[in-house]
Amino acid sequence: MDNVRQQRVDSWMIRRTVALARRGGAATAPNPMVGALVVQDGCIVGRGWHRRAGGPHAEVFALEEAAERARHATLYVSLEPCNHHGKTPACTDAILAAGVSRVVYGMKDPNPSVLGGGAAMLRDGGVDVRCEHAAGIVEDFYRPWVHWLKTGRPFVTLKLAVSIDGRIAADMGSPRWLSCAVSRARV
């Protein structure tokens, strides 16, 4: 497969991992939501997402579903695989044990306990590793988690529409739209 086509496939797969990651929702907090796919010969043979804090990570679920088909396959992960032991073993250990030959992740993990170490450990283990940003989709997805990680505060978006005289309703309290349809669709 030529480089341009491979990059398109990688980008598409990373977008799929983000869609899988969303399934974890708030149950993963304080950990990030993560999605993973194992692809062998162009077919998805394993998928997983981080379901809850303290539970197995997305990579582990995807590798378990793929079983032996993970050997010499490509693993796509929305976030760089972890390389440290906490409540669960390091994902890099599971990836190396499964015999995955290539790992593509969507964003370097900004957590100080990972911060490039997962990718480095995989490279040291002979795995071809690359980061595919997927046109900023991954960064946008992780923006709230990164903000929380760096500041300890939640990421909040506030939409406030008021009239020029500071009111939010017309006379007699009857509702009236003060913002356009596009901005109303965001909330």
Residue from 59, 64, 65, 132 carrying the catalytic annotation: 59
Three-class secondary structure assignment of the chain: CCHHHHHHHHHHHHHHHHHHHHHHHHHHCCCCCCEEEEEECCEEEEEEECCCCCCCCHHHHHHHHHHHHHCCCEEEECCCCCCCCCCCCCHHHHHHHHCCCEEEECCCCCCCCCCCHHHHHHHHCCCEEEECCHHHHHHHHHHHHHHHHHHCCCCCCCCCCCCCCCCCCCHHHCCCCCCCHHHHHCC
C-alpha dihedral (107, 111, 116, 121), degrees to nearest 10: -110
Confirm whether 59 is a catalytic residue.
yes
Enzyme catalytic residues = 59
